[in-house]
Amino acid sequence: MAVRNVTAGGLEEAGEGFREKGSVPTAEPYGGRPHPQHEQRPLCFVRCHNLGNEIKSAFGTGKNEVGCVIQVINEERECGESFTEWQLGFTPKEHREMLDRQEFLKWQARQRKEDKRWRAIELIVIGVITVIIAGAFTILGAFIERGSLFP
């Protein structure tokens, strides 16, 4: 889950205060008055769920009331393999990189398993060919030794 930074527009970690109470930290620009650092509406960083639509449909008002946001945040969802456990201090991008790294490691394991299987098949094929060639040379040698191969 991420929140959009109001000033920079980038996605940031939805902190513990936001996750538990819906509280949005404020920033005070030079000479200006305090304003929220990020939007009240959370986002699913991997776009598995549209939390904004869930908030709208939960209350039908389209307003991002804190209670509405907390309710939607705490709902159980099926995220499949796109889910990664939230870790305090990690940005949404870092969470995405964790998912990518896990997927890459799974892919590597599948590749290693597939490579081992093909190596086993190659060894069997090479063994059979070697036995056939050795047998053919043994038979050819026996015929040559008897002198019956050439008249």
Mean pLDDT, range 13-34, rounded to an integer: 78
pTM for the full model?
0.55
Pull the structure tokens for residue 12: 């940031």
Q: How far apart are CA 115 and CA 66, in angstroms?
A: 53
Return the amino acid letter for 148: S
Q: 34-92, pLDDT tens digit by residue?
A: 778 888 788 887 778 888 888 777 776 555 567 778 888 888 888 776 677 777 777 77
Band the pLDDT of 29: cuts 50, 70, 90: low
pLDDT confidence of residue 112: 96
Q: 89-123, pLDDT tens digit by residue?
A: 777 788 888 888 988 999 999 999 999 999 999 99
Rounded to the nearest angstrom, the gap between the alpha carbon of residue 140 and the centroid of all alpha carbons in its chain is 60
- The Cβ of residue 40 has, within 10 Å, a number of other Cβ atoms equal to 17
* pLDDT of 133 over the 90 cut: yes
pLDDT confidence of residue 151: 57
pLDDT confidence of residue 30: 63
Higher per-residue pLDDT: 29 or 45: 45
Q: How far apart are CA 27 and CA 36, in angstroms?
A: 6
Which residues are paired to 4 by β-bridges?
11
> Phi/psi zone of residue 60: left (φ > 0), alpha (ψ -120 to 50 degrees), beta?
left
- Domain positions in the chain: 1-83, 91-151
pLDDT confidence of residue 120: 95
